[in-house]
Structure formats: C-alpha cells, structure tokens
Structure 1
Amino acid sequence: MKILRTSLAAAGVLALSLVAAQAGKPAYEIVDGGIAVSLTGKPGDPAAGKVTLADRKLGNCLACHVVSDLSDLPFHGEVAPPLDGVADRYDEAQLRLLLVDSKKVFEGTIMPAFYKSEGFNRPLDKFEGKSILTADQVEDVLAYLLTLKEQ
C-alpha cells in the first residue's frame, strides 16, 4: 500500500511539473487551416516584426524568401516564394499557423516551425524545450507580413 501511495505521489508530481513546464507557453488551437486567436492576446508590432524577420539569429526569413521591402539588405533567398503580397494570398489565421508550424500546412516543407518546442530529433541541450521565436515575436512577424500586400 505504501508503494502504491508513493508511486501515485511521484506520478502526480511528474504530471504537475509537465503542466508547469508548458504553463509559460501560450496554447493555440488550429481551426480550418489556421490559428485565429493571437498567441499573446494582443496585436503584434509590425516594426518589431520587420526586424525579427530580417534578423539572422531569429526569423532569418531572408535566407529563403525575397522581400522587396527589405531590398537594402543582402542575401535574399530564392528557395521559397517571395513574401511580397503574402497578405493577399493568406489571411491572418493562415499566416499565424505557417509561422507557428508550417508543416501542419505543407508537410514536406523545409521551413522551420518557429513556435514549436518539442518533438525534435536530438536538439542541443541549450535548445531543448525552446522555440525559435517567442509568442510576441510570432505576432510581431505576423503583423509585418500583414503589411505586405500587392502594390
């Protein structure tokens, strides 16, 4: 009986620690091919999103995409579609899902999941349990992408 109580107590502590580990990361729900609700509960900042998108240690979107609005920056990639006019091709919910986990939309894509923090194969210890972007950064990049309409 004592072993059973100890085992149940240990299982309870483990379950609580797992819940606590995820508590700091906002949850999201995928509905109809998108995430309709902001990860932060507030709109992102397009100016901050532009910086994050171009930053090689954060979004690094220019490694694969061309963005004419950032033509003053070098090394635009040609692997992925241009982001010019992306706000005309996708709605806000679809773009948010593409940023959070593009593989939910395009299974074979090489685009990273910017808000995924688990399910990776052997990540370095310093990256264990961490996403590339925070919820605020995802919303900021989204706000910037929503400004990229066909001219």
Structure 2
Amino acid sequence: MRISILTMAVVAVSAAALSAAEIDPKEVNYEDGVVKASLTGVAGDPANGAEVVGNKSLGNCVACHQVSDLADIPFQGEIGPPLDGAADRWSEAELRGIVANAKIMFEDTMMPAFYKVDGFIRPGNAYTGEAADETFGPLLSAQQIEDVVAYLSTLKE
C-alpha cells in the first residue's frame, strides 16, 4: 500500500513538473503574432516583470518606451509607444507575442525579439565581433517573458 501511494505521489509530481516545462524558443506557437499558451506554465510575477522592464542589464524596455509607473528610472525612451495602458490595448496573449518576438505582429518594428534563438542576420557573440556559437540564447528567459507580461497586464489607463 505504501509503495502505491509513493508511486502515485511521484507520478503526480512528475506530471506537474512536465506541465510547467519551459517551451523552447523554436517551439513557440505564434498565431498572427499572438502566443496564447504560457511559455512556462507558471504565472508571471509583476514585480519581477517591472525589474526586467526597467533594468538596463535585462529587458531595458525603458530605453525605447516610457512607463509612468517607473518614473524613478531616468532617460526613458520615446522610440516605442508609451507602455502606460498596455493592458487596455493588448490582451495577455498579444503581450506575450509582442515581448517574445514583436516582429511577427509588427513586421517593421525596431523592437528586439526577446525570445528567439535563430533566424538572425549575422548575430555577434556578445561584443566580440565574432560569429555566434551554439550558446546564443534568447535575451530573456521564458519566465522573464511571463513576468514582463504579468507586469504589462497591470498597466491600465
């Protein structure tokens, strides 16, 4: 009886781990730029998302976008649209698609694809000027994408 209960517990934990498995950047399903499924199966954390949006070493979204909620971060950009009211303009699935790879929804955008690992034109390996090797990964992790989406979903007019 104990073995059966233990076996069931292991199966349940394994199933939960598989359902929360990260979707590989090459396996993301874009439908007209929209990504309906979570990239991780784990809810995003808006506080972590705000950190990614405002951190110059992470997403650095404020280099191009203004965000009133992050007014304490200086030198916000004006290239992209303000992110205030993003949750009123786009659904969670649309935001996920835009953050993961905006070029699918907005072909002429200057916004980088934050969750892409292939199809680049001559990507460099960091700042070395050398061609990228197999370690060329996405700019943000799947969970960071989910965190940014959770944060953007809080930005209403």
TM-score scaled by structure 1?
A: 0.79
**1:142 matched residue in structure 2:** 149
Q: CA RMSD in A?
A: 1.7
Aligned length in residues = 128
Q: Displacement, 1:146?
A: 0.3
Equivalent in the alignment of 2:3: none
Determine the C-alpha separation between the residues in 2 that align with 1:35 and 1:25: 13
The reply on whether 1:90 has 2:97 as its aligned counterpart is no
Shift of 1:93: 0.6
2:140 corresponds to 1:133 = yes
d(CA) in 2 for partners of 1:125 and 1:52? 22
Per-residue Cα deviation, 1:102-143 (whole angstroms, up to 9, x for no partner): 000111110000001111122223564311000010000000
Offset of 1:32 from its aligned partner? 4.9
**One-letter identity of the residue aligned with 1:82:** P
TM-score normalized by the length of structure 2: 0.76
1:56-95 alpha-carbon deviations (Å, 9 max, x no partner): 1211100010000000110110111100000000001110
- 2:62 match: 62
Give the Cα separation in 1 of the matches to 2:48 and 2:34.
23
SS in 2 for 1:131: coil
Alpha carbons 2:116, 2:138 under 8 Å: kept: yes
- Give 1:1-150 correspondences, 5 Å limit: 25=24, 27-125=27-125, 128=133, 129-150=136-157
Which 5+ residue runs of structure 2 have no aligned equivalent?
Answer: 1-21, 127-131
> Structure 1 residues 114 and 73 mapped into 2: Cα distance closer, same or farther (>3 Å)?
same
For the 8 Å contact 2:23–2:40, the answer to whether it is kept is no
Cα offset for 1:33? 4.0
Distance 2:154 2:89 in 1: 12
| Residue ranges of structure 1 left out of the alignment (5+ in a row) | 1-22
Distance 2:149 2:123 in 1: 26
Using the alignment, how far apart are the partners of 1:101 and 1:141 within structure 2?
A: 13
Counterpart of 1:42 in structure 2: which amino acid? V
